[in-house]
Amino acid sequence: MLKELWQYVSNPTENPVAKKMGFLTEAIAMEARAKHCKASWGTHYQHCQTAILQASKRAVQKRTVLILGAGSLFDIPLGVLSTQFEKVLLVDLVFLKSARNLAQQFDNVELIEHDVTESLERIMVGFPFVDTPAAWLDDPSIDLVVSLNLITQLPLIPVRWLIEHFEVSEQEGDILGKQLILAHLLYLQAFNGEVCLIADREGVEFNSAGQEIDRFDPWWDVESPSIAQPDAVYTWQWEVMPLGETSRHKSQKNRVGVSFL
Ligand SMILES: C[S@@+](CC[C@H](N)C(=O)[O-])C[C@H]1O[C@@H](n2cnc3c(N)ncnc32)[C@H](O)[C@@H]1O
């Protein structure tokens, strides 16, 4: 707890959205969870890294790779990408010290704190309108874009924020959630380079006896692009919440899939 408090106050992020809306707190909690769930999360990270390396093979040139939702960097084969590409751009709303230290080891790796929805400043003050993101679309050197376990996360904090602080109805929140997911898909499709989308496809909750109690669509009913088929690595189960991690009564597994857009 003390360590987490220290991480919060000492994090150098200047981004008011990251602190005020709770993204920094969530990043710190996620790093702690990744440590507790090392075995199950480690397998998931390995699958992500393999998928990114497959995506890299599809890039015709290797000038710049742009990774959206880089977060902890645990799911990125950073050493290989740094050798293969001239430039590696890692984007997230917030980076913790561990990610900053790791990225510093590579001359051609840059961490960029940026809101990929380009809508959060407005949402933070109560306007539930979604912009069409445009960052890096004008950079012709981007040969590979990876959206990394990000798209289904985009609505979670903003929708909760609007409901809790601005009395936005559940129905309006639902529409905003769908819009954030769709805008990210359209954004990815607007790049000229190869685009790889790694994302949850389904969540399943189990009780303490291991029986299924709920199955849900993390895409807010937006149709997700089809999963690439050529190799078994393109879908896997991620035991995101082993029994006892956040509840003694419930566990959760997500099916993660990879698409090329
Ligand atoms: C499930 S995590 C995956 C992160 C990373 N790939 C990992 O496993 O550590 C989702 C990430 O999306 C980031 N994120 C959420 N909303 C964002 C936004 N609007 N702009 C940029 N990053 C965002 C979070 O900070 C978090 O790091």
pLDDT digits (tens, 9 = 90+) for 149-160: 999 999 999 999
| Distance from C-alpha of 66 to C-alpha of 19, rounded to nearest angstrom | 24
Closest ligand 1 atom to residue 115 Cα is: 20
| CATH code of 105's domain | 3.40.50
Ligand 1, atom 6: closest residue by C-alpha: 70
Look at residue 8 in the predicted model and tell me its pLDDT. 67
Pocket test for ligand 1, best of 123, 150, 151 (most atoms within 8 A of CB): 150
- The boundaries of the domain holding residue 177 are 2-260
Report pLDDT for 146: 98
Pocket of ligand 1 (CB under 6 A): 23, 27, 69-72, 74-75, 92-94, 115-117, 120, 148-150, 153-154
pLDDT band at 115 (very low <50, low <70, confident <90, very high): very high
Number of structural domains (the chain) is: 1
**Tens of pLDDT along 172-219?**
999 999 999 999 999 999 999 999 999 999 999 999 888 989 999 999
Statement: residue 6 has pLDDT above 70: no
The yes-or-no verdict on residue 232 having pLDDT over 70 is: no
Mutate to test the pocket of ligand 1, among 90, 94, 153 (most ligand atoms within 8 A of CB): 153
- Closest residue by Cα to atom 13, ligand 1, is 69
More confident residue, 138 or 240: 138
**Higher-scoring residue by pLDDT: 4, 65:** 65
What pLDDT does residue 103 have?
97
Query: For residue 85, is pLDDT > 90?
Result: yes
Residues 35-66: pLDDT tens digits? Answer: 888 888 899 999 999 999 999 999 999 999 99
Most confident of 17-21, 119-123, 210-214, 240-244: 119-123
Distance between CA 51 and CA 151 in Å, rounded?
16
Q: Are 109 and 77 spatial neighbours (Cβ–Cβ below 8 Å)? A: no
pLDDT exceeding 90 applies to what percent of the chain? 73
